């Protein structure tokens, strides 16, 4: 899980690739998380992480690590619907979050 989709996460060797973005609800994310073998979160916003822990029912760290995409990764972007510029939003509900499922395919140019 990421809080944004920087293009720098994709391998430098990928000269052409296509990205598909699909908006999903948080309960779809929960279903996928419960079926996943491994979950890694790269979200550094404490309010978002706390909300995800509550809704998903799993422990997640607040993380400032950098993510690099590897083929086969299932990527979800979780972000605030209305970010407050210059403010740290503390209390977040699942209704405040947008969730996107990301699929990337190398060697494709649309």
Token pair belonging to 63:
């993380």
Shortest CA distance to 76 belongs to which of 42, 34, 51?
42
> What is the reported pLDDT for 10?
93
For 72-80, what is the mean pLDDT? 91
> What is the reported pLDDT for 93?
85
Give Cβ neighbours of residue 87 (< 8 Å, ≥ 6 apart): none
Distance of alpha carbon 51 from alpha carbon 91, whole angstroms: 8
Q: Is the predicted pLDDT of residue 91 greater than 90, yes or no?
A: no
- Domain map of the chain by residue range? 7-106
Q: What is the CATH code for 7-106?
A: 3.40.50.11170
**Cα dihedral 82, 41, 55, 104 sign:** positive
8-state DSSP, 9: G
| Least confident stretch, 12-21, 37-46, 74-83, 90-99 | 90-99
């Amino acid at each position: 899980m990421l809080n944004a989709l920087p293009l720098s996460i994709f391998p430098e060797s990928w000269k052409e690739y296509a990205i598909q973005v699909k908006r999903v609800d948080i309960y779809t994310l929960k279903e996928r998380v419960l079926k996943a073998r491994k979950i890694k979160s790269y979200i550094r916003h404490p309010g978002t992480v706390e909300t995800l822990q509550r809704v998903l029912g799993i422990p997640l760290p607040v993380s400032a690590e950098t993510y690099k995409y590897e083929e086969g990764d299932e990527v979800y972007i979780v972000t605030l619907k209305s970010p407050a510029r210059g403010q740290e939003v503390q209390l977040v509900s699942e209704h405040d979050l947008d969730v996107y499922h990301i699929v990337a395919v190398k060697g494709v140019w649309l």
